[in-house]
A and B are shown apart, each in its own frame.
Chain A
């Protein structure tokens, strides 16, 4: 019986080299991230090679990706947010490509590790907080004071607002990680049933194919949710509520 958790193991593809005390090597997770970046670069680079005014199909796909994320950033992050568009575009495409590449049989989904999604969410959170302090100075702390609260309850409300602000990176990372890991575990469990049942293995095979379709939807949706929420947090930092 195949083990559904074996797919998440980190395997070292090159021998480990000692870099400043840390044993580093190229793991399958790093290779998947590299493949994702290369796929995005090739997609956008080769698509925009001709730079025609009337686009061909490939260029139209690249332009619609760009336009989709640009609209999302402009709608959700408000006015001063055009500066942060390159970061949000890279974030969205990186997560999307990582999720999609994980659906190929035999490959590795790097977003199914909480440390990867937490690193990305922590970067977004720290970046947004620093941007908030940069733009508003110490006035940024006014974010934690909800309006219309009697003064006696203010310390408790500020504590609760801080907890809900600090819960943002955890919710961002947990959502992506849980969806990816659960989806892939389910796929492996049903795939494991196929060989055990012999001829009646057609049924788990059908369910596994339907699940793959569902995972395709979840891959797009989760990347979109991550990017939209990053834009919303940026909006909170740039324009205090």
Chain B
């Protein structure tokens, strides 16, 4: 009986150790940095583009594009924060 219990605890210990590495850390890091930078730039561009399209439609010359740029900046920063936070958790 004691051998079985020992075996069970050994297996549980080895399983806990196996779950630790998330999925080849190096690959995650490599494309994580790429994602952060390009997602921020893309959110900035999207905000500016949406603002520009609203400008075109409503005719309020550069103001909506500036508002869109600012919103894009905020959106990009939030995206980066979310990504960095989720990567630190797992």
Q: Which residues of A contact B (CB under 8 A)?
A: 75, 159-161, 163-164, 166-168, 170-171, 174-175, 178, 221, 224-225, 228-229
Supply 23 A–B pairs (Cβ within 8 Å), ascending by A: A75-B23, A161-B75, A163-B72, A163-B75, A164-B43, A164-B46, A164-B76, A166-B46, A167-B45, A167-B47, A167-B72, A167-B79, A168-B42, A170-B42, A171-B42, A174-B41, A174-B45, A175-B42, A221-B30, A221-B34, A225-B31, A225-B34, A229-B35
CB pair B71 A167 closer than 8 Å: no
Main secondary structure of the interface of A (DSSP, over half): helix
Which residues of chain A are near B34, meaning CB under 8 Å? 175, 221, 225
B46-A160 in contact (CB<8A): no
- Which A residues touch B43, using CB under 8 A? 163-164, 167, 171
Interchain nearest-CB distance for A215 vs B (Å): 15
Interface check B38, CB cutoff 8 A: yes
Q: Which of B23, B31, B39 contacts A171 (CB 8 A)?
A: B39
Instruction: Point out the residues of chain B lying under 8 angstroms from A164, CB to CB.
Output: 43, 46, 75-76, 78-79
Could you say which of A159, A168, A228 contacts B71, with CB atoms under 8 Å apart? Answer: A159
Contacting residues, chain B, for A174 (C-beta < 8 A): 38, 41-42, 45
Q: Chain B: interface secondary structure? A: helix
Using CB atoms and an 8 Å cutoff, list the residues of chain B in contact with chain A: 23, 30-31, 34-35, 38-39, 41-43, 45-47, 49-50, 71-72, 74-76, 78-79
- Contact between chains at B31 and A224 (CB < 8 Å): yes
CA distance A228 to B34 in the complex (A): 13
Whether B39 contacts A221 by the Cβ 8 Å rule is no
Indicate which residue in B30, B31, B46 contacts A163 across the interface (CB closer than 8 Å).
Answer: B46
CB distance from B79 to the nearest CB of A (A): 5
Q: Which residues of A contact B39 (CB under 8 A)?
A: 167, 171
Residues on the B chain within 8 Å of A163, using CB: 43, 46-47, 50, 71-72, 75
Interchain nearest-CB distance for A241 vs B (Å) = 11
Chain A residues with CB below 8 A from B75, complex form: 160-161, 163-164, 167
Tell me the complex Cα distance, A229–B72, Å: 20
